[in-house]
């Protein structure tokens, strides 16, 4: 049987079993191609593929094309791959191997008939199919690659493109009809048929306007390969190269995202935007996209079932069945118009429904109340006490809460998915009966608990009217302006687009652009102001990028916009609450009412510079000194950690008359000149080690987990540092001082080896220098067993620098030292920091200390910290990637590795874990010079249940990320 000459046509050809050549025959083909190597079978739905391995590992893929395809088809595929490779040299492509300039390919006679055999290069890295969770960054890169392939194949013309495959979405409706009988479950078959029919109908509205071109049309998670940074950078399998709608390239990529876990909308939009940046969609393409995804899902299910039927031995096809079904289910889990509106809104295209025009439905407008994220009514944690909406509404006779504004009253904490917070209705509370009138004439429909009145452009839906007050039975016709019924208590008014039957009253924020597009704001029917559109977090981010210097980085690629905090919770503009596990600045919890009250009262009375004489400053200085050993009784008040460490360094220089300073490697101490000079972390500044001024000398980071001396050998760091200090002194660089965090906070909460600070402080003092403890991160009760980090080491420094937690977010820092050191500053003039210790700052500082004492927060850090540590340690039993748990109390670090024995840092996993935790409702960030440690330092008020939630989410995410 010779190769066909006519283009392949799925509709006339029908069944397409994969070639099934025996191993010996395949080996012969390999020899014919002039290649030697070991063969191992790879899966394929239509061809027969083998990995070819030589002494140096896998080097190629032997591809035996299905004999149903003419030779021109494989030539077109190879030409397409070459074309993309030429256009985007940074992409790796599965191209046909060349020997002496000639392609390694041939037409061979086989037991399966004549077929094309060729060798492609092998691309290591693996596909994304088996990874349960895909990060938005991966999805975005997939969309970008789809755009690059689409751009490079634009204008590509080849005889081998004339084929008609079942994957051409231009014939998807017919393909589903043809193959649906292979779906044995009748319910599922009907579901697939109905979805395909609806998608086809939606598509028909715009299909004439869709551009057509050549494409890969199979750029799924199975055909994109992982690069060194964890993101896709390679494309394989050009087997479906053909001509179709241009936007189908993206639709196919999106379909490949849908069987993974994680929030579908976020992942999908990341891919759409990745595509859009290089290859903007037309209006028609944006409208066609989701119907195409649904059709792709339907074709996948139907084709998969058929393939499994006729090719019972094809394990590859069988394994795909479940995945294909999940894709279809995800594609149809929200109504198509909702997904289309979400896509359009994500691309900045118009989605809104025209407002309804009709008569007022009430004689007197209601009072409008705010239940949103920034509403005062939700302050002081009121949003977490049940009944907020009713409590807020209770003060007026007739009250309404707006349409489309996320309600904090509907939020919830410790939830792995976003709660439904966005109303698609206006909620009304009538404390005495209010008659609602028909805004237009029409036939009333009564359904369970609600009344519907279709009008010329919209359908009015009223929930909660008193049943005995409603206009007569179903299908009654009412005249505009006549009563529909009476509201007593709580009710809802909704305006649906004509033809839409129902929209949930509350939807999650990511779905809101989709559902809201099917409804209109009913405000005009009530005579109240309409909801004004607000800038989305991403638009605000663009504004930030245009005015805030880019080097001032922000957390996350696509950060939630956080506008409220309460205790350990941070709330975004969609009213989603996140557990804040990273915030050591707000030590006593976000928005602590005692601080609000004390600061408000102080601001209302007096705030001025610290050269005036007022009570708050001496009281705070005294309280602060009382937390420290007796000799440390002289306090300088400043505004930040950088100022505190800078001043500490200058005090050391003043006290000794020297200028050399010794610092630890991997440290961060601030951004001012002197504090930056001693900052050696390459995570904060990749050039740090090469660019320190000559007066800064570093000693090795005493990291007992991954440093030079590990575990039982870690005691060596102390003597080594002491020796270095003596050497420096001997060489004429006797140091003014030694500065270090008392626990290496920025390195990941790494506890110093026992006795380390004792040895180093002794050495530095022996040569006439002073010891500076940077307690900006680890001090102030966080360690639980000790108020100050240096107490863990049993030492007393000469100078202590502190900030962050002492102000609970208010700019406040301090240096505390001995009288002798403080006096030495005089030589350089007097000290003045205008707002350091201002009446408000000193009040904040005092209040924070009071709260830590009154609420027993140091003890909480000890108890919950121990529980958290134990929970994280237990994760090591289940996940090989957990290297170790650093830290103490509520300053912990979870270190992630690719190989536990070699302790190889895993930064990509750590980065992905933080992204996934955000989706699961937890704020967490990586730290350390290798970016592979979770910095766990929540507000000290964190509860045992919250600690458990964190551990559970890390556990879940690590399962999903593997
Ligand atoms: N020292 C340490 C140990 C720090 O972690 C930081 C801030 N990350 C600073 C000093 C500087 O503090 P600030 O950002 O308040 O200037």
Largest CA distance in the chain: 103
Q: CA triplet 655, 658, 660: central angle to 5 degrees?
A: 120
The token pair that represents 914 in the structure block:
């933080």
Ligand 1 centre distance from Cα of residue 641 (Å): 5
Residue 672 CA: nearest ligand 1 atom is 16
Pairing of strands 770-774, 799-802: parallel
Closest CA to ligand 1's atom 12: 641
Nearest to 137 by CA among 229, 218, 220: 229
Please list the residues that pair with 894 across neighbouring strands. Answer: 885, 934
Ligand 1 centre distance from Cα of residue 359 (Å): 60
Ligand 1 centre distance from Cα of residue 938 (Å): 16
> Would you report the helix, strand and coil content of the chain in percent, each value rounded to 5?
40, 20, 40
Spatial separation of the C-alpha atoms in residues 883 and 465, rounded to whole Å:
60
Ligand 1 shell residues, CB under 6 Å? 640-642, 645, 668-670, 741, 745-746, 774, 776-777, 803-804
Nearest to 411 by CA among 423, 401, 400: 423
Task: Among 583, 637, 646, 669, say which to mutate for ligand 1: greatest number of ligand atoms within 8 Å of CB.
Answer: 669
Spatial separation of the C-alpha atoms in residues 373 and 571, rounded to whole Å:
7
Query: How many CA atoms, within 13 angstroms, populate the side-chain half-sphere of residue 547?
Result: 5
Task: Among 776, 788, 836, 937, say which to mutate for ligand 1: greatest number of ligand atoms within 8 Å of CB.
Answer: 776
The token pair that represents 425 in the structure block:
């209705």
Closest CA to ligand 1's atom 14: 641
Say what the pLDDT of residue 473 is. Answer: 56
Of the pLDDT bands very low, low, confident and very high (cuts 50, 70, 90), residue 474 is low
Nearest to 370 by CA among 434, 432, 423: 423
Closest CA to ligand 1's atom 13: 641
Task: Among 583, 585, 649, 670, say which to mutate for ligand 1: greatest number of ligand atoms within 8 Å of CB.
Answer: 670
Instruction: Tell me if residue 98 falls in helix, strand or coil.
Output: strand
HEC profile of 306-368: HHHHHCCCCHHHHHHHHHHHHHHHHHCCCCHHHHHHHHHHHCCCCCCCCCCCCCCCCCCCCEE
Closest CA to ligand 1's atom 10: 669
One DSSP character per residue, 277-316 reads HHSPPPHHHHHHHHHHHHHHHHHHHHHHHHHHHH-TT-HH
Ligand 1 centre distance from Cα of residue 670 (Å): 5
Ligand 1 centre distance from Cα of residue 661 (Å): 18
In terms of DSSP H, where are the helices of 606-662? Answer: 616-626, 641-656
Q: Could you tell me if residue 492 is left (phi over 0), alpha (psi between -120 and 50 degrees) or otherwise beta?
A: beta
Residue 804 CA: nearest ligand 1 atom is 15
- What value does the mean pLDDT take over residues 297-315? 87
The token pair that represents 782 in the structure block:
């966080």
Spatial separation of the C-alpha atoms in residues 143 and 324, rounded to whole Å:
20
Nearest to 278 by CA among 253, 303, 313: 253
Of the pLDDT bands very low, low, confident and very high (cuts 50, 70, 90), residue 2 is confident
Looking at every residue in the chain, the average pLDDT score rounds to 95
Nearest to 555 by CA among 570, 536, 568: 570
Closest CA to ligand 1's atom 1: 669
Percentage of the chain beyond pLDDT 90 is 90
Say what the pLDDT of residue 351 is. Answer: 83
Spatial separation of the C-alpha atoms in residues 368 and 363, rounded to whole Å:
15
Ligand 1 centre distance from Cα of residue 509 (Å): 35
CA torsion sign for 888, 894, 897, 899 is positive
Instruction: Tell me if residue 567 falls in helix, strand or coil.
Output: strand
Spatial separation of the C-alpha atoms in residues 865 and 861, rounded to whole Å:
5
Pairing of strands 426-437, 519-520: unpaired
Instruction: Tell me if residue 923 falls in helix, strand or coil.
Output: strand
Spatial separation of the C-alpha atoms in residues 286 and 210, rounded to whole Å:
10
pTM above threshold 0.85: yes
Of the pLDDT bands very low, low, confident and very high (cuts 50, 70, 90), residue 204 is very high
Instruction: Tell me if residue 737 falls in helix, strand or coil.
Output: strand
CB 175 within 8 A of CB 166: yes
Task: Among 552, 584, 641, say which to mutate for ligand 1: greatest number of ligand atoms within 8 Å of CB.
Answer: 641
Residue 741 CA: nearest ligand 1 atom is 3
Spatial separation of the C-alpha atoms in residues 895 and 907, rounded to whole Å:
10
Say what the pLDDT of residue 13 is. Answer: 85
The token pair that represents 418 in the structure block:
């976003």
Ligand 1 centre distance from Cα of residue 544 (Å): 23
94 class by beta-carbon count within 10 Å (0-12 exposed, 13-18 middle, 19+ buried) = buried
Look at residue 270 and tell me whether its pLDDT is greater than 80: yes
Nearest to 669 by CA among 656, 681, 659: 681
Spatial separation of the C-alpha atoms in residues 221 and 127, rounded to whole Å:
6
Ligand 1 centre distance from Cα of residue 311 (Å): 64
The CA-atom distances, in angstroms, between 217 and each of 146, 787, 815 are 9, 61, 64
Those residues whose C-beta lies under 8 Å from the C-beta of residue 732, and which sit 6 or more positions away, are none
CA torsion sign for 666, 668, 671, 675 is negative
Ligand 1 centre distance from Cα of residue 671 (Å): 8
- What value does the mean pLDDT take over residues 60-88? 96
Say what the pLDDT of residue 43 is. Answer: 81
Closest CA to ligand 1's atom 2: 669
Closest CA to ligand 1's atom 4: 669
- What value does the mean pLDDT take over residues 486-490? 96
Picking from 470-479, 567-576, 599-608, which range would have the lowest pLDDT averaged per residue? Answer: 470-479
Question: How long is the chain?
Answer: 962
Look at residue 847 and tell me whether its pLDDT is greater than 60: yes
Percentage of the chain beyond pLDDT 70 is 99
Say what the pLDDT of residue 475 is. Answer: 56
Tell the residue number behind the tokens 């996948």, with chain if given.
Answer: 300
Residue 667 CA: nearest ligand 1 atom is 3
Please list the residues that pair with 548 across neighbouring strands. Answer: none
939 class by beta-carbon count within 10 Å (0-12 exposed, 13-18 middle, 19+ buried) = buried
Of the pLDDT bands very low, low, confident and very high (cuts 50, 70, 90), residue 683 is confident
Nearest to 916 by CA among 945, 867, 950: 950
CB 520 within 8 A of CB 458: yes
72 class by beta-carbon count within 10 Å (0-12 exposed, 13-18 middle, 19+ buried) = buried
Look at residue 449 and tell me whether its pLDDT is greater than 90: no
Ligand 1 centre distance from Cα of residue 669 (Å): 5
Say what the pLDDT of residue 559 is. Answer: 95
Spatial separation of the C-alpha atoms in residues 877 and 885, rounded to whole Å:
12
Instruction: Tell me if residue 848 falls in helix, strand or coil.
Output: helix
Task: Among 777, 813, 887, 928, say which to mutate for ligand 1: greatest number of ligand atoms within 8 Å of CB.
Answer: 777
Ligand 1 centre distance from Cα of residue 812 (Å): 12
Residue 778 CA: nearest ligand 1 atom is 3
- What value does the mean pLDDT take over residues 179-201? 97
Say what the pLDDT of residue 535 is. Answer: 86
Q: CA triplet 253, 255, 259: central angle to 5 degrees?
A: 120
Ligand 1 centre distance from Cα of residue 703 (Å): 20
Residue 671 CA: nearest ligand 1 atom is 16
Ligand 1 centre distance from Cα of residue 229 (Å): 29
Ligand 1 centre distance from Cα of residue 677 (Å): 13
The CA-atom distances, in angstroms, between 581 and each of 156, 566, 693, 935, 956 are 52, 13, 35, 8, 16
Ligand 1 centre distance from Cα of residue 746 (Å): 9
Of the pLDDT bands very low, low, confident and very high (cuts 50, 70, 90), residue 472 is low
- What value does the mean pLDDT take over residues 215-229? 96
Task: Output phi, psi for 325, to 5 deg.
Answer: -65, -40
Residue 675 CA: nearest ligand 1 atom is 10
Ligand 1 centre distance from Cα of residue 94 (Å): 49
Say what the pLDDT of residue 313 is. Answer: 76
């Amino acid at each position: 049987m010779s190769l066909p000459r006519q283009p392949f046509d799925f509709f006339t050809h029908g069944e397409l079993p994969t070639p099934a050549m025996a191993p010996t025959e395949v080996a012969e083909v390999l020899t014919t191609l002039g290649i030697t190597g070991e063969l191992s079978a790879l899966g394929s739905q239509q061809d027969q593929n083998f990995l070819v391995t030589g002494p140096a590992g896998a080097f190629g893929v032997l591809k035996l094309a299905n004999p149903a395809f003419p030779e021109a088809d494989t030539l077109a595929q190879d030409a397409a791959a070459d074309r993309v490779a030429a256009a985007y040299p940074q992409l790796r492509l599965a191209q046909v191997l060349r020997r002496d300039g000639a392609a390694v390919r041939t037409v061979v006679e086989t037991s399966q008939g004549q077929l094309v055999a060729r060798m492609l290069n092998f691309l290591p890295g693996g596909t994304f199919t088996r990874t349960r969770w895909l990060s938005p960054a991966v999805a975005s890169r997939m969309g970008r690659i789809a755009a690059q392939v689409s751009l490079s194949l634009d204008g590509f013309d080849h005889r081998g493109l004339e084929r008609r495959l079942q994957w051409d979405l231009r014939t998807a409706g017919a393909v589903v009809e043809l193959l649906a009988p292979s779906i044995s479950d009748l319910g599922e078959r009907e579901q697939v048929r109905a979805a395909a029919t609806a998608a086809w109908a939606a598509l028909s509205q715009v299909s004439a306007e869709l551009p057509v071109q050549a494409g890969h049309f199979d750029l799924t998670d199975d055909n994109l390969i992982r690069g060194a940074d964890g993101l896709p950078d390679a494309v394989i399998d050009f087997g479906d190269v053909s001509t179709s709608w241009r936007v189908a390239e993206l639709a196919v990529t999106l379909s490949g995202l849908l069987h993974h876990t994680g929030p579908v909308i976020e992942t999908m939009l990341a891919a759409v935007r990745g595509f859009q940046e290089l290859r903007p969609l037309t209006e028609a393409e944006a409208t066609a996209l989701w119907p195409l995804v649904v059709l792709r899902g339907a074709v996948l299910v139907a084709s998969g079932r058929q393939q499994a039927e006729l090719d019972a031995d094809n394990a590859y096809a069988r394994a795909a069945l479940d995945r294909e079904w999940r894709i279809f289910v995800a594609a149809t889990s929200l109504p198509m118009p909702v997904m289309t509106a979400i896509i359009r809104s994500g691309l900045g295209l118009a989605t809104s429904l025209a407002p309804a025009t009709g008569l007022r439905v009430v004689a007197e407008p209601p009072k409008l109340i705010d239940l949103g994220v920034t509403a005062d009514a939700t302050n002081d944690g009121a949003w977490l006490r049940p009944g907020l909406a009713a409590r807020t509404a209770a003060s007026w006779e007739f009250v309404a809460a707006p349409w489309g504004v996320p309600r904090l009253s509907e939020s919830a904490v410790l939830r792995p998915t976003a709660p439904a917070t966005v109303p698609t209705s206006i909620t009304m509370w009538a404390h005495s009966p209010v008659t609602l009138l028909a805004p237009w004439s029409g036939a009333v429909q009564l359904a369970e608990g609600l009344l519907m009145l279709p009008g010329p452009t919209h359908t009015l839906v009223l929930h909660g009217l008193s049943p005995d007050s409603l206009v007569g039975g179903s299908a009654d016709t009412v005249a505009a302006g006549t009563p529909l019924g009476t509201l007593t208590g709580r009710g809802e008014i909704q305006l649906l687009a004509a033809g839409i039957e129902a929209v949930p009253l509350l939807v999650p924020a990511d779905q809101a652009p989709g559902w809201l597009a099917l409804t209109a704001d009913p405000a005009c029917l009530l005579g109240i102001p309409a909801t004004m559109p607000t800038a989305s977090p991403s638009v605000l981010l663009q504004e930030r990028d245009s005015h805030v210097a880019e080097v001032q980085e922000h957390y996350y690629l696509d950060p939630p916009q956080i506008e409220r905090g309460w205790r350990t919770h941070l709330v975004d503009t969609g009213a989603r609450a996140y557990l804040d596990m990273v915030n050591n600045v707000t030590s006593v919890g976000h928005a602590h009412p005692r601080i609000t009250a004390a600061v408000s009262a102080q601001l209302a009375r007096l705030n001025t510079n610290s050269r005036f004489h007022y009570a708050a400053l001496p009281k705070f200085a005294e309280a602060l000194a009382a937390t420290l050993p007796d000799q440390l009784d002289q306090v300088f008040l400043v505004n930040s950690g950088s100022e505190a460490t800078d001043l500490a360094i200058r005090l050391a220089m003043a006290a000794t008359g020297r200028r050399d300073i010794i610092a630890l490697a991997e440290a961060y101490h601030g951004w001012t000149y002197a504090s930056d000079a001693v900052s050696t972390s390459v995570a904060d500044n990749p050039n740090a080690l090469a660019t320190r001024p000559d007066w800064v000398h570093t000693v090795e980071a005493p990291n007992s987990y991954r440093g030079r001396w590990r575990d039982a050998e870690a005691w060596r760091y102390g003597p080594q540092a002491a020796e270095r200090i003596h050497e420096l002194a001997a060489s004429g660089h006797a140091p003014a001082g030694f500065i270090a965090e008392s626990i290496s906070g920025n390195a990941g909460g790494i506890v110093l080896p026992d006795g380390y600070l004792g040895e180093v402080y002794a050495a530095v003092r022996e040569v006439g220098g002073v010891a500076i403890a940077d307690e900006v991160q680890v001090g102030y009760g966080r360690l639980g067993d000790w108020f100050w980090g240096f107490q863990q080491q049993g030492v007393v420094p000469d100078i202590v620098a502190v900030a962050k937690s002492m102000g609970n977010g208010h700019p406040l820092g301090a240096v505390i030292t001995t009288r002798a050191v403080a006096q030495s500053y005089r030589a350089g003039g007097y000290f003045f920091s205008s707002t350091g210790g201002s009446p408000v700052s000193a009040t904040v500082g005092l209040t924070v200390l009071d709260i830590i004492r009154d609420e027993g927060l140091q003890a909480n850090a000890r108890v919950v910290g121990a529980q958290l540590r134990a929970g994280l340690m237990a994760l090591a039993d289940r996940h090989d990637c957990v290297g170790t748990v650093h830290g103490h109390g509520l300053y912990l670090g979870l270190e992630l590795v690719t190989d536990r024995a070699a302790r190889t840092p895993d930064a990509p996993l750590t980065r992905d874990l933080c992204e996934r935790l955000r989706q699961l409702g937890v704020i967490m960030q990586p730290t350390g010079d290798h970016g592979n440690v979770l910095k766990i330092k929540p507000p000290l008020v964190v509860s045992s249940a919250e600690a458990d939630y964190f551990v559970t989410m890390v556990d879940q995410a690590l399962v999903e990320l593997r």
